[in-house]
Amino acid sequence: MTTPVNTKEVRELIAQFFNTQMPFHNFIGLDVISYEKDTIELQIKMKPELVGNIVHGILHGGVTATMLDVAGGMMVFAQVLENMELVTHDTVMARLQNLGTIDLRIDYLRPGRGNVFTATATVIRAGNKVAVARMELHNENGDHIAFGTGTYMVG
Amino acid sequence: MTTPVNTKEVRELIAQFFNTQMPFHNFIGLDVISYEKDTIELQIKMKPELVGNIVHGILHGGVTATMLDVAGGMMVFAQVLENMELVTHDTVMARLQNLGTIDLRIDYLRPGRGNVFTATATVIRAGNKVAVARMELHNENGDHIAFGTGTYMVG
Amino acid sequence: MTTPVNTKEVRELIAQFFNTQMPFHNFIGLDVISYEKDTIELQIKMKPELVGNIVHGILHGGVTATMLDVAGGMMVFAQVLENMELVTHDTVMARLQNLGTIDLRIDYLRPGRGNVFTATATVIRAGNKVAVARMELHNENGDHIAFGTGTYMVG
Amino acid sequence: MTTPVNTKEVRELIAQFFNTQMPFHNFIGLDVISYEKDTIELQIKMKPELVGNIVHGILHGGVTATMLDVAGGMMVFAQVLENMELVTHDTVMARLQNLGTIDLRIDYLRPGRGNVFTATATVIRAGNKVAVARMELHNENGDHIAFGTGTYMVG
């Protein structure tokens, strides 16, 4: 499968893959809502299994970390796609295999109260080998729950 | 319930609480194996739902982040317990309510291959208001999967 | 000296103090250009002693880290000032003694080329005990050299 | 200059270079005390210009960040040297040009009191493109002043 494809189609396939084939994403209910060249939205609906503190009923910090890590990784990969000379199923798969988080920082700003949590990301350093993204988590009221910064291997 | 208790009993109660009453911990299968004054061991057994990459069958980085965050938080809280002047059920609960992660750094060293993952932690800055811990994740072969550094609000 | 003063005057005194009484700031040529309630600008002019790489003639990463650390610390302190009930010389000095960096992350985005470097900061978590700020370093052309995130003890 | 050299000689040349040709290192008095395959020691003697707080007379946190950043960078480069197939003056220079800090975390553990500060480093992730090191700063009494974690571009 070496037929060139456009990056929009590739992103749609990747989003579909992340929504249906990643066991841990399905387990916690992580959905890719939108995945464009420069923006991404991941969403999770609160459910009892994701609670980290039964007194306060808030989202576990590990779910926050998961969402921000995935949002950053997918966002830097969108930038990799735009810079690839030849975008085929095979070349994309080869690059996707190389994608990995090197390090991740999460800044927890306030308790994870809410019903729907949305993670977004922006690339702050685009590179052929290493890329860095900044991520944010908000609830449905726009409350800013957490910031993230992730350094990813992309090549 | 203001009868003084010893810190060993308190740690046992907290471990039991984390094992049975924290929904997200039960969901992913996180177990507190040991919880002493200076050491802690959390464990998770690999299961299909925790996989982050079906090609490689490795642990999702979000599970790694979760384990390291919890290990660090429990370890700094053990140090808080040792420094409390009056350890009763009520004073412990009040302090536990204040425990929260301020920021967390994860360094992913190698892919999360394995069947059993163990998180450990050490306090590197003990304070009345803020404490910092360093954490490690290993698999059953002793392979070092990840490092963590967490800054926690403790008072 | 317990006469109440306003926070604008206090910030001017602190800026003056940082400009004239902090040995390392004078040594490297760090100047507080502006210090308002919600914004800060620190500046450094390139000079041969600050070069970290003679081949490329770029700013040493340690100078970048210094500028971002100081910008974040001063910015969170401005927020502390606004929240103080009684602002006198003595209460300000007491709080300033408690100000300290707990942890700092620097993301180096591109080489530090330029003649004038400006550090700015924004508070992302305001607290009575701990505060978190995000910082940026730009050169005179607006090139974004580095991001920073700092967690500070403030009380 | 393509004559193969051994890595010990290369490290000696690099140490000499860092001691004599790096303007900011000379400015603050940073000395490479030892530079082996697996270990490194950088030292700085306290002097009035490095003070960050005249009340307490302690080392400025920016100097701490500088020392830890350089120690980590040199340590990962020593590992790069060991993995190079052909070590000549030219190949080493080419790799050294590519060395750069991607991100850096500093954990400040206690005030920087002392007369002589020593930075050490260990590689925790060795790679051809990216490497990660952990660093420590101690004073002459063995007091542990700070921890660092740095992610470096190495190829």
Flag whether residue B137 sits within 8 Å of chain D, measured between CB atoms: no
Residues 6 or more apart from C61 whose CB is under 8 A from it?
A: C52, C106, C108, C112, D66, D69, D101, D104
Which residues of A are less than 8 Å from D153 in CB distance? 129-130
User: 């760090």: which residue's tokens?
Assistant: C30
pLDDT category at C145 given cuts 50, 70, 90 is very high
pLDDT tens per residue, range B15-40? 998 888 899 999 999 999 999 999 99
For residue D50, give both structure tokens. Answer: 């490095």
Q: What is the mean pLDDT of residues C62-83?
A: 97
Half-sphere exposure of C79 (CA within 13 A, CB side): 25
**How much is the pLDDT for C2?**
63
pLDDT surpasses 90 at C55: no
Question: Are the C-beta atoms of residues D14 and D38 closer than 8 Å to each other?
Answer: no
Q: Is residue C66 classed exposed, middle or buried when 0-12, 13-18 and 19+ CB atoms within 10 A define those classes?
A: buried
pLDDT surpasses 90 at A71: yes
Q: Where are the alpha helices (DSSP H) in chain C?
A: 7-20, 23-28, 61-83, 89-98
pLDDT surpasses 70 at A23: yes
Residues 6 or more apart from A27 whose CB is under 8 A from it?
A: B49, B50
With contact defined as 3+ CB pairs under 8 Å, the chains touching C are: A, B, D
More confident residue, C1 or B34: B34
Question: Are the C-beta atoms of residues B78 and B36 closer than 8 Å to each other?
Answer: yes
- A103 and D151 in contact by Cβ < 8 A? yes
Candidates C76, C106, C125, C138, partner chain A, best to mutate (most A CBs within 10 A)? C125
Candidates B68, B125, B135, partner chain D, best to mutate (most D CBs within 10 A)? B125
Rounded to a whole number, what is the distance in angstroms from the first to the last CA of chain A? 21
pLDDT surpasses 70 at C1: no
Q: What is the mean pLDDT of residues C69-97?
A: 93
pLDDT surpasses 80 at D4: no
- A129 and D105 in contact by Cβ < 8 A? no
**How much is the pLDDT for C3?**
76
* Residue in A55, A63, A106 nearest the CB of B104: A106
* Residue in C102, C129, C155 nearest the CB of B151: C102
One-letter amino acid at D10 equals: V
**How much is the pLDDT for D113?**
97
Of all residues in chain C, the percent with pLDDT exceeding 70 is 99
Question: Are the C-beta atoms of residues C71 and C40 closer than 8 Å to each other?
Answer: yes
pLDDT surpasses 90 at C5: no
Q: What residue of A is the nearest CA neighbor of C111?
A: A125
pLDDT surpasses 80 at A3: no
One-letter amino acid at A86 equals: L
d(C-alpha D30, C-alpha D14), whole Å = 14
- D151 and A105 in contact by Cβ < 8 A? no
pLDDT tens per residue, range D96-147? 988 999 999 999 999 999 999 999 999 999 999 999 999 999 999 999 999 9
Chain A and chain D share a number of CB contacts under 8 A equal to 28
**What is the CB neighbour count within 10 angstroms for residue C31?**
14
CA distances from A25 to A21, A34, B106 (A): 8, 15, 20
**How much is the pLDDT for C38?**
96
d(C-alpha C129, C-alpha C119), whole Å = 24
Flag whether residue A142 sits within 8 Å of chain B, measured between CB atoms: no
DSSP, collapsed to helix, strand or coil, labels residue D48 as helix
More confident residue, D10 or B1: D10
Strand partners, D135: D121, D148
pLDDT surpasses 90 at C61: yes
d(C-alpha A49, C-alpha A94), whole Å = 35
**How much is the pLDDT for D2?**
63
DSSP class of residue B49 equals G
pLDDT tens per residue, range A75-119? 999 999 999 998 898 899 889 988 999 999 999 999 999 999 999
CA distances from C55 to A48, B15, C52, D24 (A): 58, 56, 9, 14
Which residues of C are less than 8 Å from D49 in CB distance? 23-24, 26-27
**How much is the pLDDT for C28?**
97
Q: Average pLDDT over chain D, rounded to whole? A: 94
Of all residues in chain C, the percent with pLDDT exceeding 90 is 79
Flag whether residue A126 sits within 8 Å of chain D, measured between CB atoms: no
Distance from CA of C119 to the nearest CA of A (A): 17
- A23 and B50 in contact by Cβ < 8 A? yes
Quick one: angle between helices C89-98 and C7-20, nearest 10? 50
With contact defined as 3+ CB pairs under 8 Å, the chains touching A are: B, C, D
Question: Are the C-beta atoms of residues A118 and A41 closer than 8 Å to each other?
Answer: yes
Residues 6 or more apart from B42 whose CB is under 8 A from it?
A: B30, B31, B32, B33, B67, B70, B71, B74, B118, B119, B120
pLDDT tens per residue, range D49-97? 999 988 889 999 999 999 999 999 999 999 999 999 988 988 998 899 8
Distance from CA of D125 to the nearest CA of B (A): 6
**How much is the pLDDT for D115?**
98
pLDDT tens per residue, range A121-139? 999 999 999 999 999 999 9
CA A21 to chain centre: 15
Q: What is the mean pLDDT of residues A23-35?
A: 96
* Residue in B105, B125, B153 nearest the CB of C130: B153
**How much is the pLDDT for A89?**
87
One-letter amino acid at B146 equals: A
Q: What is the mean pLDDT of residues C23-48?
A: 97
- A108 and B102 in contact by Cβ < 8 A? yes
Which residues of C are less than 8 Å from B153 in CB distance? 129-130
Which residues of C are less than 8 Å from A132 in CB distance? 107, 109
CA distances from B90 to B126, B155, D155 (A): 22, 15, 55
Q: Is residue B25 classed exposed, middle or buried when 0-12, 13-18 and 19+ CB atoms within 10 A define those classes?
A: buried
**How much is the pLDDT for B5?**
81
In residues, how long is chain C?
155
DSSP, collapsed to helix, strand or coil, labels residue A99 as coil
DSSP, collapsed to helix, strand or coil, labels residue B21 as coil
pLDDT tens per residue, range D32-51? 999 999 999 999 999 999 99
Q: What is the mean pLDDT of residues C45-52?
A: 96
Q: Among the listed ranges C41-55, C83-97, C131-145, D55-69, which one has the minimum average pLDDT value?
A: C83-97
Q: Name the fold adopted by C7-153.
A: Thiol Ester Dehydrase; Chain A (3.10.129)
Distance from CA of D121 to the nearest CA of C (A): 16
Q: What is the mean pLDDT of residues C137-143?
A: 98
**How much is the pLDDT for C54?**
81
Q: Among the listed ranges B47-61, B127-141, C39-53, D132-146, which one has the minimum average pLDDT value?
A: B47-61
pLDDT surpasses 90 at C17: no
Residues 6 or more apart from C94 whose CB is under 8 A from it?
A: none
pLDDT surpasses 60 at A1: no
**How much is the pLDDT for A4?**
73
Candidates B76, B101, B103, B106, partner chain C, best to mutate (most C CBs within 10 A)? B103
Flag whether residue D3 sits within 8 Å of chain C, measured between CB atoms: no
**How much is the pLDDT for B10?**
92
Distance from CA of C116 to the nearest CA of D (A): 17
Instruction: With CA atoms as reference, report the closest residue to A117 among A35, A31, A26.
Output: A31
d(C-alpha D153, C-alpha D149), whole Å = 14
DSSP, collapsed to helix, strand or coil, labels residue D85 as coil
pLDDT surpasses 60 at D1: no
pLDDT tens per residue, range C20-31? 889 999 999 999
